[in-house]
Amino acid sequence: MTSAAAGYAAVHAASIADPEGFWLDAARAIDWDTAPQRAFDPQAGVYGRWFPDARLNACFNAVDRHVENGRADQAAIIYDSPVTGTKLTITYRELRDEVAALAAVLAGFGVGRGDRVVIYMPMVPEALFGMLACARLGAIHSVVFGGFAANELAARIEDASPKAILAASCGIEPTRTVAYKPLLDAAVARSSHKPDACLILQRPQAVADLTLGRDHDWAETVATAKAEGRTAAPVAMAATDPLYILYTSGTTGKPKGVVRDTGGYCVALAWSMTNLYGVAPGEVYFCASDIGWVVGHSYIVYAPLLHGCTTVLYEGKPVGTPDAGAFWRVVAEHGVVTLFTAPTALRAIKKDDPRAAKIADYDLSGFRALFLAGERADPDSVAWAETALGKPVIDHWWQTETGWAIAGNPIGIEKLPVKYGSTALPMPGYDLHVLDEAGKPVPADSMGTIALKLPLPPGCLPTLWGSDDRFRSSYLATFAGYYDTSDAGIRDADGYVTVLGRTDDIINVAGHRLSTGGMEAVLAAHPDVAECAVIGIRDTLKGEAPCGFVVLKSGVSKEPAAIERELVARVRDEIGPVAAFKLALTVERLPKTRSGKILRATMKAIADGQSYTTPPTIEDPAVLEEIGESLKTRGIGA
Ligand code: COA
Ligand code: AMP
């Protein structure tokens, strides 16, 4: 450990040596209905539970207490929407009133403690009101990203069995309006579970037809509740009660419902705002993600609001709305101190504005740091941003499962030296090890699987929705006593962590986590496809892009190019545009081992133009050349 890291080192060491003391101390940032006497119960749940004896309400902590403590007139949310030309400031008092009225509406639909509510909405303030209204009632929200198609939404409705669904009539992408209501209707039709009520926010860009008896107009219903003075008060929940379920890609087509508890999450997020991000209450925080992702849940919604900050809700893109200066405009205009985005967004900005001319157009003197996560931050982009901004650029590593950073550079404690390509050091409570296949620690600078010694710290998932068994088999079975991150990585002699990529079939496309297994299931269902393989190939903008190889059934007479187009359309229709599946290649054969395993890693090496050794177990080495030739016809590979 370097001497510069002493402050961090003491904090991390304390969290591992005395987790009870460390997290009870951190818990003082939260207002409890029943304050915790214990931090952790190792006997409860799958691997133990945080704050087993405490009670709180997350919405009260994120909203009401700030109204009571002098922030009533401070901006809670700044909604900045270049795609609709709207800017709106919502104070904490206004937020409380909106959320309390919406919660009353939900209660009127019969939604209460423990009920699930699916939220399928774009980046509009009402989506945040919806999440917080659920939290107020002790209902469990499950937000589904707008870029997913009806099938994916249906799978989530089926699994979560929501009592109500909150949706908007449409989302707005720079080049088109995406009507959400037909997708919602198709998803409900496909699901065997039907919600009692849907509350639909009508947006003028695409007004939806409402289904009589099931759908309610958001604006009218909430206005009536307000006119009648109906509000709902925060309900004291057990700290161990779920706050939300967030579905994420698993290695099978069936998404995993990551459960987030209430107390541990609030404590971890509050700790992170001060210590990891170095942000004070009252300051403006801008997380340019989407509420459909974990980063959006934690750092657009809960963490900034728990901390009494102003959160920027940005409905736009890093480029094209209108240009590559969009983020810097938002930072300057709203007095943002910290921006959190994905490396892919930075690459998009760099591509459009390589000389960083747009940065000079804005006064960024109040801006302090740029944080990156969601995929590996490539050193070129980090160096470009550091030079262009003249501010720290901090990479940190996360998963949907953990809810907050596993490793990072806690500038609120001390700014550790930045090493390009590395996500720095583990955050408190993360006892991080790099293990070989047998579960033995590997030496410094050697690659292995990154595993976290149990228990996981507060904020991390206690289980998967409705499936302790899948939680155990997916994460805890590989290495006894550890959580398997499914990320490969190395630690150097200073303990710095470098995340190299997934050890499973998950790929990361523009910071979005996708399952190649899920895409393969769609391709395999095409009547002309005999077998298929989907791999992630290198993409200069999106990091990775999916590429599907298909072998057609014998006797198929249709043009391969026509089938390829149908396959691209199928993935878009069934998974969604977010899959960015644009490349399907018909091939004669797939490379396989003699035992029939498809050699995906070798195919990826060929596509990425990397050197590879022909696996000794290969059935027929000539297939690799065929794959290389086929890729070359599309200008891919060396
Ligand atoms: N609703 C509907 N469709 C959506 C959508 C949403 N919320 N979000 C994305 N899509 C669509 C896009 O319109 C695009 O459709 P197209 O194939 O018709 O062009 C497709 O899904 C793929 O989107 P994306 O991968 O985002 O590519 P893009 O070319 O539109 O934009 C970037 C590229 C880099 C600007 C964009 O990916 C970006 O800002 N990424 C940051 C990601 C991020 O913040 N991740 C969170 C993790 S921290
Ligand atoms: P998600 O669950 O969508 O947040 O995706 C989590 C996955 O994204 C991780 O398992 C990593 O593979 C990858 N990831 C997230 N942040 C980083 C990072 N800073 N560096 C490298 N990979 C990252």
Among the bound ligands, name the one nearest to the CA of residue 294. 2
Judged against a pLDDT cut of 90, whether residue 216 lies above it is answered with: yes
Judged against a pLDDT cut of 70, whether residue 168 lies above it is answered with: yes
pLDDT for the residue 505? 87
Judged against a pLDDT cut of 80, whether residue 2 lies above it is answered with: no
State which amino acid sits at residue 447. Answer: M
Within 13 Å, how many C-alpha atoms sit on residue 341's CB side? 29
> Ligand 1: which residues within 6 Å by Cβ?
122, 146-147, 171, 173, 178, 289, 293, 295, 317-319, 341-342, 344-345, 348, 373-374, 510-511, 577-578, 580
Q: What percent of the chain has pLDDT over 90?
A: 95
pLDDT for the residue 252? 66
Judged against a pLDDT cut of 80, whether residue 544 lies above it is answered with: yes
Distance CA 615, CA 630 (A): 20
Distance CA 432, CA 138 (A): 33
- Atom nearest to 344 CA in ligand 1: 34
- Whose C-alpha lies nearest to ligand 1, atom 13? 173
Confidence of residue 543 (pLDDT cuts 50, 70, 90): very high
CA of 320 to the centre of ligand 2 (A): 25
Q: Report the pLDDT averaged over residues 342-366.
A: 96
- Whose C-alpha lies nearest to ligand 1, atom 18? 577
Dump pLDDT digits (tens) for 258-269: 999 999 999 999
Among the bound ligands, name the one nearest to the CA of residue 258. 2
**Could you please report the per-residue DSSP string of 566-588?**
HHHHHHHHHT-GGG---EEEE-S
pLDDT for the residue 254? 79
**Partners of 425 in beta bridges:** 408
CA of 317 to the centre of ligand 1 (A): 8
Question: Which domains does the chain possess?
Answer: 4-316+396-429 (3.40.50.12780), 506-632 (3.30.300.30)
Residue among 180, 344, 423, 539 to mutate when testing ligand 1 (max atoms within 8 A of CB): 344
pLDDT for the residue 253? 66
**Mean pLDDT (the chain, rounded):** 96
Judged against a pLDDT cut of 60, whether residue 345 lies above it is answered with: yes
CA of 623 to the centre of ligand 1 (A): 34
Judged against a pLDDT cut of 50, whether residue 5 lies above it is answered with: no
Confidence of residue 3 (pLDDT cuts 50, 70, 90): very low
Distance CA 218, CA 126 (A): 9
Q: Report the pLDDT averaged over residues 574-578.
A: 94
Lowest mean pLDDT among 289-298, 364-373, 594-603: 594-603
Dump pLDDT digits (tens) for 7-58: 999 999 999 999 999 999 999 999 999 999 999 999 999 999 999 999 999 9
Residue among 286, 317, 351, 541 to mutate when testing ligand 1 (max atoms within 8 A of CB): 317
Lowest mean pLDDT among 81-95, 249-263, 577-591: 249-263
pLDDT for the residue 596? 86
> Ligand 2: which residues within 6 Å by Cβ?
248, 294, 373-377, 395-400, 423, 487, 499, 502, 508, 513
Burial class, 411, CB count within 10 angstroms (exposed 0-12 / middle 13-18 / buried 19+): buried
Confidence of residue 638 (pLDDT cuts 50, 70, 90): low
Among the bound ligands, name the one nearest to the CA of residue 504. 2
Contacting residues for 412 by C-beta, under 8 A, at least 6 apart:
273, 274, 275, 276, 277, 278, 279
For tokens 């077998």, name the residue: 531
Confidence of residue 4 (pLDDT cuts 50, 70, 90): very low
Q: How many CB atoms lie within 10 A of CB 628?
A: 16
- SS3 of 529, please? strand
Confidence of residue 406 (pLDDT cuts 50, 70, 90): very high
Judged against a pLDDT cut of 70, whether residue 6 lies above it is answered with: no
